[in-house]
Amino acid sequence: MAFIIKSKLDNILKDDALGIGKVASSDPMGINATVGSFQPFEVFDFVKEIEGGLSTKDKYAYSSVDGGEKFRQATNSYLGLSDHYVISTPGGTGAITTSVGLTLEKGETLLIPYPCWGPYFGIAKENGLNVATYTLLKDDKFNLDGFIEVGNKIISEEGKLVFILNDPCHNPTGYSLRQEELEDLVGYLNKQKVPCTMILDCAYLDISNEARHKDRSFLKLHLEDNVEILYCVSYSKSYQIYGQRLGALVMKDEFFYKVACFHARTTWSNCNHAMITLIEKVELDLETKAKHKKALEKIQNALSERSKLFLSEAKSCNLKTLKYDNGFFISIPCKNNKEVFEKLKDEHIYVLPVCDLVRVAICGLTLEQVKGLAKKIKEYIIE
Ligand SMILES: Cc1ncc(COP(=O)(O)O)c(C=O)c1O
């Protein structure tokens, strides 16, 4: 312990979703609604085909620090952009950590929604930052007033604003901002006289079944010069390649790109060459890209069926849920979420207690497992 610097002594990984998921999956009778990966777990056929044909060099040689020009084009194509700089990252997590670390000095404040994906708190802590939160939803809508209230305070104290927006299919609620809500948010940022950075965590972009997400038109936003979007891409979910660890950080500013390259080289150096080649081969080929879209529809449809069943049963038994549009998770407000977790665990049902909620990962369940689950959870909930 004495070998570790004082400021890191408190950084112990606990109550982590991956850890709880491991316990859940080692229970042979377990219903695992904890981890954010789609089940039944299958590698897409076109992914297998491409992987099988990769050369030794594609698989085992170093990649370049940023992933290379073709990867830049491929990731631009993935986001429906054309002229952005790109850096390959270890998953979406790598892109988010890099964005946060390069935009905030120690002691400055990162604004995140509540509830949110748990690692945001850890990323802030690892970088010596303060965290400010706003309640994501108010009356089942994006809480822009709440965002502005906290945003104004940070701007007046620190002369800048850096925040994470997790959209679409926000984890853990499954909420996606309406286009007007996104535009109103950008409208607020455009009016500020200080630099505003939106770290757009779009990890679940391909999980949404809305047309404006599928064709990426939701990203056509008018930004003034004081506003920068850092797009944090996770190929984990889009391509079902979670364990292969590939994502991308995408930005408009060349200087930012150069600094991010330095960060990458001195942190993880470069990323998974085989997966970089995979993304290039899909995103730059219209036919394979169409196959990918088709494969994703299966996941979107399955989620839609599972969520419909869970939500209708929740309604029948008066189990309150937060507003859900699409995505891997449904959230239930709950004061005693740790107790609910323990009680359900005794019945071999594993959910995740996060942010005064119980998060149910419908992505991990069969329809059969979803059936009756809302009622079971309701038995133990204190709202
Ligand atoms: C909201 C959110 N952001 C980012 C990520 C990062 O994903 P990965 O690093 O596996 O690409 C996840 C994964 O669970 C997530 O839920």
Parse the chain into domains and list their residue ranges.
Answer: 6-43+289-380, 61-285
> How does 135-158 read in b/e, with b if 16+ C-beta sit within 10 Å?
ebbeeeebbbebbeebbeebbeeb
Our mutation pick for probing the ligand 1 site, out of 234, 244, 362, counting the most ligand atoms within 8 A of Cβ, is 234
User: Are 189 and 132 within 8 A, CB to CB?
Assistant: no
- Residue bearing the CA closest to ligand 1, atom 14: 36
- The neighbouring-strand residues paired with 230 are 199
Q: CATH homologous superfamily of domain 6-43+289-380?
A: Aspartate Aminotransferase, domain 1 (3.90.1150.10)
Asked if residue 361 has its Cβ within 6 Å of ligand 1, the reply is no
Q: Do domains 6-43+289-380 and 61-285 have the same CATH topology?
A: no
* Tens-digit pLDDT string for the chain (383 aa): 579 999 999 999 887 777 777 778 788 888 999 988 999 999 999 999 999 999 999 999 999 999 999 999 999 999 999 999 999 999 999 999 999 999 999 999 999 999 999 999 999 999 999 999 999 999 999 999 999 999 999 999 999 999 999 999 999 999 999 999 999 999 999 999 999 999 999 999 999 999 999 999 999 999 999 999 999 999 999 999 999 999 999 999 999 999 999 999 999 999 999 999 999 999 999 999 999 999 999 999 999 999 999 999 999 999 999 999 999 999 999 989 999 999 999 999 999 998 899 999 999 999 999 999 999 999 988 77
Which atom of ligand 1 is least distant from the CA of 93? 9
Which atom of ligand 1 is least distant from the CA of 242? 10
Q: What is the pLDDT of residue 1?
A: 55
Q: What is the pLDDT of residue 110?
A: 98
Our mutation pick for probing the ligand 1 site, out of 202, 233, 237, 326, counting the most ligand atoms within 8 A of Cβ, is 237
Per-residue tokens: 190:
């455009």
Calculate how far, in angstroms, residue 96's C-alpha sits from the geometric centre of ligand 1.
9
What are the CA-CA distances from residue 279 to residues 45, 153, 235, 283 (Å)? 14, 41, 8, 6
Our mutation pick for probing the ligand 1 site, out of 89, 112, 205, 236, counting the most ligand atoms within 8 A of Cβ, is 236
Calculate how far, in angstroms, residue 16's C-alpha sits from the geometric centre of ligand 1.
13
Asked if residue 240 has its Cβ within 6 Å of ligand 1, the reply is no
The CATH class for the domain spanning 61-285 reads: alpha beta
Q: What is the pLDDT of residue 21?
A: 78
3-state secondary structure of 166: strand
Calculate how far, in angstroms, residue 243's C-alpha sits from the geometric centre of ligand 1.
12
Q: What is the pLDDT of residue 25?
A: 79
Q: What is the pLDDT of residue 24?
A: 82
